[in-house]
Structure 1
Amino acid sequence: MAALALPLALPSGATATIHTPYRAAAPDAPSGSTHTMMLAPLATSGRALGSPLAEGLPERSVKPFSLLGVTWGDSRTDLEGTVQVRTRAVGTGVWSAWRDVESHSEDAPDAGSPEATEAGVRGATAPLWVGRSDGVEVRVVPKRTGGVRGALPALPKGLRLDMVDPGDDPPGAPSAAPSTAGAPPSGTGPTSEAAPSDPVDDPVDDPTRPGDKGDKGDKGDKGDKGDKDDEPGNADEGDVTDPTDTTGTDDELPVVPALTQAETEKITGRHYIGARPRIVTRAGWGADESLRTEDFLFTDQVDTVFVHHSATGNDYDCADAPSLIRSIYRYHIKSSGWRDIGYNFLVDKCGTIYEGRGGGVAKAVFGAHTLGFNADSVGVAVLGTFSDDEPSEKALAAVARLAAWKLGIYGHNPAGTAYLLSGGSNKYRKGVRVSFNSISGHRDGFATECPGTVLYDDLGYIRRKAAALQGR
């Protein structure tokens, strides 16, 4: 894929600086690969005169892969249909049952931006993690609109299956187990003197944990609109940084270590900031830096954290998370045609936090995660699908820790609100000034199922926990 050109102008609401960083040398043998196969009309479809044909691939053997998705030629065209796959596991030879692939992926660059309109950008389903596989079968069926007698839309042109092999983990990859340094003891308020052995999870009988569904991502958490810190323009500029943030340097480390709240306050000069959590860097999860566009892009500040689910399914072990992230990274670049992975951060079911899009974990990096609201925001994806399944308590606690730290750098209360200027979405027209909770779900800015109903219902809990971690 040709390298994407740098934007000459940003979507509304973004003021960016462009920085050419140290570029890590590509590995001698780049890890991972993408294998594609064009879909074709299925023999059993289109029997009715004028009926659009279903497309797919008959059962076949393929090169080993671990993640897949379906892409098509025009990113502005929606896939109005159902996508299903079945795969054969390497080693056992056992075929899976048919699995659904989310046909819409609204984690995307802003409309009209060069990243969204550059040649080579494709429409894409959400990626699906299937584990190590060497056989596949695919079917894409048009979805009837307007009821039983409604029309069948044509499928997008250029449908293909993209299969990603994530390659091997980098030598000396960090443990998936998250550090607890800087986290408060269970059942207490935040502290700046927490020891590395302090637990991070809430007790099962904590009345504020996600079992309390009363707030459903509640808009009631917008109560402090008058908080000066939440007014537009009052956050620090985008050059706020952490001197120990090693990402983007010529001595990149696999992990940004956790700090206590006192250490974090000393480094940033901020009060009401959560302790910096342990973050596995791009080097730690094995990003091939030769894949992405070379330059980094920044916005002014971080006003809002948008929570997502990756929609990649829940059938992964924590040890698989680096491979899963490398697969999403390669899918976003090689299959969708973006400049880098779309999310700023990712969190696995064990509560490990990973750096996403490059540029530095403390910086206001311009991402591609919430169509229309990528400016002045951060996208955090919890690895998994949470339309029906509950995310782990460790994952929720990690999102809260990350949000308490990241919003604190820019002077924001996680339980407050902030305004963002729409770059255009299917929910808010371009140029509209929209009030969001400082921690919002993807669906708050775009009409989508993301981050899944169950995870969305947990956002009120995440806000309260993050605010407490800041000492509010």
Structure 2
Amino acid sequence: MRLYRMALWATVPMALPLLAAPAGLTEVRAARDAAPEGAPSVRRPEAGSRPVASALDAGRPFPALGAASMALPLMVPRPAVVSRAQWRADETKRDPRAHYAGGVRAVFIHHTDTPNGYDCADVPRTLRNLYAGQTRDRSWGDLGYNFLVDKCGTIYEGRAGGADRAVVGSHTLGFNQGTTGIAAIGTFGPGVAVPAAMEHAIAALAAWKLGLGGVDPAGTVRLTSTNGKSRYAKGTSAEFDAISGHRDGFATSCPGEALFARLPAIRKLAADLQSRRSRAASGARLTASPANPRRNIR
């Protein structure tokens, strides 16, 4: 009888665990974003708030309804990211609220339009200056970019809210919702060489962020404009490369002619880093790398 019970148990499929809200998260509500067009957001618990069974979380993005959107996450290694604490961001200068989308569907590439002759060891000081300008002079509530990358290939956390989550930034008017903004530190006008280390870091970051939602970096996505001051009227659906330049969504020269010309190579490298073809053949999975690099931050 005991052997029979064991055999019967082996034939019963195991139930899948229910998705739960991230730790400490109790309520989903709409709030005005620092991004000009605003966005739905997820806020941390307040006294008396009601618990919910699930929430929008970039670490575990919920697929949108529709056959074309049911993509599974690709576990691309997370590249090393220098945290806000490490570059000594003054957290009293920013809006304490963080705003989240359901996942990252596209990446917009920018440049900071700052001098190129910097020493990489001095980048944290540059970030603090950018942070002060964008919070004080532009009233964006925080750094507009989700991430910044220097010419040595070091990746820095930009806007607060969690590097592994779908934080809504203020980087591409009309298309901040469900996208990540990556800014190359420097100015990349015509004839300026884009450092290989910078390109590789941007590709690795894009491969990881897009992989969380199963998005192909070499593919295309459809995004809906939320602001008529973008290149598209509010409510208009438009097709974008999964890795696009700022100018694709807004009338600007950003990210500069030189960096914009390198986007096809960055897309290809990001897709290669996702190893899509080899995954399809073998189902291999990659392990995550350490979250933070070991380097001195001034």
- The answer, yes or no, to whether TM exceeds 0.5 is yes
| CA apart distance, 1:291 | 0.8
Deviations 1:272-299 (A, max 9, x none): 3421100000001110111111111112
* Aligned: 1:353 with 2:155: yes
Q: Is the 8 A contact 2:34 2:170 kept in 1?
A: no
User: Structure 1 CA distance, aligned partners of 2:222 and 2:38?
Assistant: 10
Pairs within 5 Å for 1:80-91:
none
User: Structure 2 CA distance, aligned partners of 1:457 and 1:10?
Assistant: 27
Q: Aligned residue for 1:7?
A: 32
Q: Aligned residue for 1:292?
A: 94
Alignment partner of 1:318 out of 92, 96, 120: 120
User: Structure 2 CA distance, aligned partners of 1:306 and 1:297?
Assistant: 18
- Tell me which amino acid in the other structure corresponds to 1:447: A
Report which of the two has the higher share of helix: 2
Q: Name the SS for the 1:395 alignment partner.
A: helix
Counting aligned pairs with the same residue, the percent is: 47
User: Structure 2 CA distance, aligned partners of 1:348 and 1:460?
Assistant: 20
Deviations 1:132-170 (A, max 9, x none): xxxxxxxxxxxxxxxxxxxxxxxxxxxxxxxxxxxxxxx
Q: Aligned residue for 2:209?
A: 406
Alignment partner of 1:396 out of 191, 199, 222: 199
Q: Is the 8 A contact 1:274 1:466 kept in 2?
A: no
The structure with the largest alpha-carbon Rg is 1
Q: Name the SS for the 1:346 alignment partner.
A: strand
Question: CA 1:355 to 1:311, structure 2 compared with 1: closer, same or farther past 3 Å?
Answer: same
Q: Is the 8 A contact 1:373 1:423 kept in 2?
A: yes
Q: Aligned residue for 1:239?
A: 57
Q: Name the SS for the 2:76 alignment partner.
A: coil
User: Structure 2 CA distance, aligned partners of 1:450 and 1:346?
Assistant: 14
Taking structure 2 as the reference length, what is the TM-score of the superposition? Answer: 0.71
Q: Is the 8 A contact 1:401 1:466 kept in 2?
A: yes
Q: Aligned residue for 1:447?
A: 251
User: Structure 1 CA distance, aligned partners of 2:252 and 2:200?
Assistant: 24
- Tell me which amino acid in the other structure corresponds to 1:332: Q
Deviations 1:215-274 (A, max 9, x none): xxxxxxxxxxxxxxxxxxxxxx741428xxxxxxxxxxxxxxxxxxxxxxxxxxx66342
Structure 1 unaligned spans of 5+: 1-5, 22-236, 243-269
Q: Is the 8 A contact 1:13 1:421 kept in 2?
A: no
Q: Aligned residue for 1:419?
A: 222
Q: Name the SS for the 2:92 alignment partner.
A: coil
Question: CA 1:20 to 1:313, structure 2 compared with 1: closer, same or farther past 3 Å?
Answer: farther
Q: Aligned residue for 2:266?
A: 462
User: Structure 2 CA distance, aligned partners of 1:18 and 1:10?
Assistant: 16
Question: CA 1:8 to 1:451, structure 2 compared with 1: closer, same or farther past 3 Å?
Answer: closer
Question: CA 1:11 to 1:311, structure 2 compared with 1: closer, same or farther past 3 Å?
Answer: closer
- Tell me which amino acid in the other structure corresponds to 1:362: D
Q: Aligned residue for 2:189?
A: 387
- Tell me which amino acid in the other structure corresponds to 1:463: R
Report which of the two has the higher share of strand: 1
User: Structure 2 CA distance, aligned partners of 1:330 and 1:410?
Assistant: 32
- Tell me which amino acid in the other structure corresponds to 1:241: G
Structure 2 unaligned spans of 5+: 1-30, 47-54, 61-71, 277-298
| CA apart distance, 1:369 | 0.4
| CA apart distance, 1:19 | 2.7
The range that moved more, 405-414 or 425-434, is: 425-434
Pairs within 5 Å for 1:295-374:
295-374=97-176
Q: Is the 8 A contact 1:15 1:300 kept in 2?
A: no
Question: CA 1:238 to 1:403, structure 2 compared with 1: closer, same or farther past 3 Å?
Answer: farther
- Tell me which amino acid in the other structure corresponds to 1:449: S
| CA apart distance, 1:445 | 0.4
Q: Is the 8 A contact 1:12 1:431 kept in 2?
A: no
Question: CA 1:279 to 1:373, structure 2 compared with 1: closer, same or farther past 3 Å?
Answer: same
Taking structure 1 as the reference length, what is the TM-score of the superposition? Answer: 0.46
Q: Aligned residue for 1:158?
A: none
Q: Name the SS for the 1:444 alignment partner.
A: helix
RMSD: 2.3
User: Structure 2 CA distance, aligned partners of 1:391 and 1:8?
Assistant: 33
